[in-house]
Amino acid sequence: MILIADCGSTKIDWCVVDGANVVRRVFTGGMNAVMLTEEEMASRIAEELVPQLGEEVIEEVYFYGAGCIADEVCDNVRRAIAKNIPSATKIEVHTDLLAAARALCGRKPGIACIMGTGSNSCYYDGEKICDNVSPLGYILGDEGSGAVLGKILIGDVLKNQLPKDLCDKFLAQYELDRLTIIRRVYKEPQANRFLASVTPFLIQNIDRKEVHELVLNSFKAFFRRNVLQYENATELSVNLIGSIAYYYREVLEEAARECGLTVGTIIKSPMEGLVAFHCA
């Protein structure tokens, strides 16, 4: 049996697979592999995952997580897993971007993108990531992400760039005022999550011209500043994963057309595609 993990900072989606059959699906708290030590990760796996695994004998583990790029980080994750799943003779640790590429493209070449709280993209040749434009985070980049959409929305509200009724509606809906927003963004941790948390307002009001234009321009910036830098981008399908891509599909496709790109697969999360990839 194999165990596949899709790890984020908020939660980890674990899936035990036997052949092509999903035996068990488990969710545990998230881990930031860059911020935690090997011992801390091993402890969390022991407390949260192991009691839910049952009697299945796991032979292979494929772990995908944000920040799992540096060898030292990957080795820490690998050893933390090995301590808790000694039956595993093969443990691979990869970045979440490779998870997206494998889930979206399988073993065919294409452009794979993540659009959730943050954004990222790559050119994938069917086996490995061959090119990646650095996303740079929500301050310098992350175009089209939930954090950046929220940043633009809040900035437009506070600077009266949207109609007054929309500004008033937003502040009332989220029970926010200027001072609270400033505190949440500049003085409290995880400002990116706070910014992304207000994006449902955009999809709820997407029929308003000003909101539609805000979202469309952000998606066009994502394609122009990231995807169009890949060789043959206009000849390949652009495949996307994440909540923003999933819920804003129509506007995303409109932005892609205006940039001369063709959207392929859009999915909310990678697990189903990863199961198909590893069980093919």
Quote the pLDDT of residue 202: 97
Full-model pTM: 0.87
> What's the order of all strands across the beta sheet hosting 90-95?
21-29, 11-18, 2-7, 60-65, 90-95
pLDDT in tens, 89-118: 999 999 999 999 999 999 999 999 999 888
Task: Judge whether residue 137 has pLDDT over 90.
Answer: no
10, pLDDT greater than 80: no
User: What pLDDT is attached to residue 163?
Assistant: 97
Measured at the CA of 31, the angle between CA 25 and CA 37, to 5 degrees, comes to 130
pLDDT band at 132 (very low <50, low <70, confident <90, very high): very high
What pLDDT sits at residue 185? 94
In this prediction, residues 250-273 reach a mean pLDDT of: 94
pLDDT tens digits for range 45-90: 999 999 988 888 999 999 999 778 889 999 999 999 999 999 999 9
- Name the percent of the chain lying above pLDDT 90: 79
pLDDT at residue 66, as a whole number? 79
Confidence of residue 151 (pLDDT cuts 50, 70, 90): very high
User: 85 φ, ψ to 5°?
Assistant: -130, 75
Mean pLDDT in the chain?
Answer: 93
The pLDDT value recorded for residue 279 is 86
Report whether pLDDT(280) > 80: no
pLDDT at 167: 97
Q: In this model, does residue 143 exceed pLDDT 90?
A: yes
* Whole-number pLDDT of residue 176: 95
Phi and psi dihedrals of 121, rounded to 5?
-160, 165
Work out the average pLDDT over 123-146: 91
The per-residue pLDDT for 64 is 95
Give the span between the Cα atoms of 105 and 113, in whole angstroms.
11
Confidence grade of residue 157 (pLDDT, cut at 50, 70, 90):
very high
Walk me through the domains of the chain, giving residue ranges and CATH numbers: 2-88 (3.30.420.40), 107-269 (3.30.420.40)
Tell me what pLDDT residue 97 has: 93
Q: Could you give the CA distance from residue 280 to residue 271 in angstroms, rounded to a whole number?
A: 14
Cβ neighbours of 254 (radius 10 Å): 17
